[in-house]
Amino acid sequence: MSPSTSALLRTAVLAVGVLQAALAAEPGAATHYTLDPAKSTLEFQFIQAGAQNKGHFGKFTVALDLPADNAAGGKLEVVVEMSSLDTGDKDRDDTLRGSDLFDVAKNPQARFASTQITRTAGGYDAVGKLTIRGTTRDQHVAFTFRTTQEQGKTVGYLAGKTTLKRLDFGVGQGDWKSTEWVGNDVTVSYSLRLVSAPH
Amino acid sequence: MTLRNTTTRWGGVSQFLHWLIVALILTQVILANIAMDLPIGVRKLAMFARHKSVGLTILALAAIRLLWRWTNPTPPLPNTLKPYERTLAQVTHAALYLLLFAMPLTGWMMTSARGFPVSWFNLFQLPDLVPRNQELYEAMKETHHALAYTLGAVVFLHVAAALKHHFVLRDDVLRRMLPTARKPG
């Protein structure tokens, strides 16, 4: 092998190496995450008879695509199994599952699917379609997101809260339409551990 | 009628607190019974919320009343009472004061243990007295109900005694708790 050939080969090897490194850090390369249910919570808070009450959902799934440098190319999808709600009181839970409130027999799932994610001063804002009790409305979901490496895997922590009005989704028929004893505002808080997964 | 108690009759503040608490306890009995009979729903929730708010009001008034009693003269029981009647009167009054505190406090513990925090007429939220606990809730519910019947029995005794003083013994024991009371005889 002549010296010039050897130099050319070395350059080529170097070029491939640089290209590989560049690809790995390519802006816009989506990172796909799925939920770690054991270390994630989805809670809701509401006013009942003038006092703060809260509950949580036990079963829900989250899929997030969030390219490092291109939030607009991201997507957040959440599906909540409504019958998994738990406010710590069986009578209240059964009432919430009933036809006047979440009507889980006809609408077993609530869904959020983002149409656009934008960066904000504090983190991200996902705007999208939220469907509860069969009614779909535009909803902003603000969240913070940070990633770490845990045992060689990329792990993301997503947290935040958003407030919605239950009556916008028909959650409250008959007597429950009144907001005197159960407030219209419901604050949904989320603290999720997401693990990177192959797309 | 003076605001403060004298050695012969109850003053305006004591009388006002006595009769206001009587009215509120009657309200409590009505609200509790309406609430218990309603099916689960907003109306039941509203009735119990009112019951809790009135109960908290009674608790505050009971504290004020006890403080007022301690800082005022107490009109003495008539000298005509036999020793056992005197003891019975003292025990009955002590039981009434005790129940004025025990009823709201067991109710408050009951709703805290159930996991339903309370507010005062939807205006401000109060802290939970105990953490959520189903067994404690059941125990407090039974206690609250048992105390309610006890209160009914003690009130019956109290009213019967007051009427006996007024109509049989013809003394001023009942009249000195009434605003229009005149001196006997």
Query: In Å, what is the CA distance from B81 to each residue of B87, B89, B93, B177, B181?
Result: 9, 10, 15, 18, 21
CB-based contact (8 Å) between B120 and chain A?
A: yes
Q: What is the pLDDT of residue A28?
A: 46
pTM: 0.85
Q: What is the pLDDT of residue A68?
A: 76
d(CA B143, CA B106): 7
d(CA A96, CA A172): 9
Token reading at B160:
């019967």
Interchain proximity B49–A88, CB inside 8 Å: no
Query: Which residues, given as ranges, of chain B have pLDDT below 70?
Result: 181-185
State residue B8 phi and psi, 5-degree precision: -115, -20
**A199 burial level (CB within 10 Å; 0-12, 13-18, 19+):** exposed
Q: What is the pLDDT of residue A69?
A: 79
Sequential DSSP letters for B153-173? HHHHHHHHHHHIIIIIS--ST
Digits of tens for pLDDT over chain A (199 positions)?
Answer: 555 666 666 666 655 555 554 444 444 456 899 999 999 999 999 999 999 999 999 999 999 999 877 888 899 999 999 999 999 999 999 999 999 999 999 999 999 999 999 999 989 999 999 999 999 999 999 999 999 999 888 899 999 999 999 999 999 999 999 999 999 999 999 999 999 987 6
Strand partners, A140: A127
Q: Which residues of B touch A95 (CB under 8 A)?
A: 40-41
Q: What is the pLDDT of residue A7?
A: 66
Strand partners, A139: A128
Nearest CB to A52 within list B49, B117, B132: B117
Q: What is the pLDDT of residue A55?
A: 97
Q: State how far residue A175 is from chain B, nearest Cα, in angstroms.
A: 6
What are B25-52's pLDDT values in tens digits? 999 999 999 999 999 999 999 999 999 9
Interchain proximity A52–B123, CB inside 8 Å: no
Q: What is the pLDDT of residue B174?
A: 93
Q: What is the pLDDT of residue A31?
A: 86
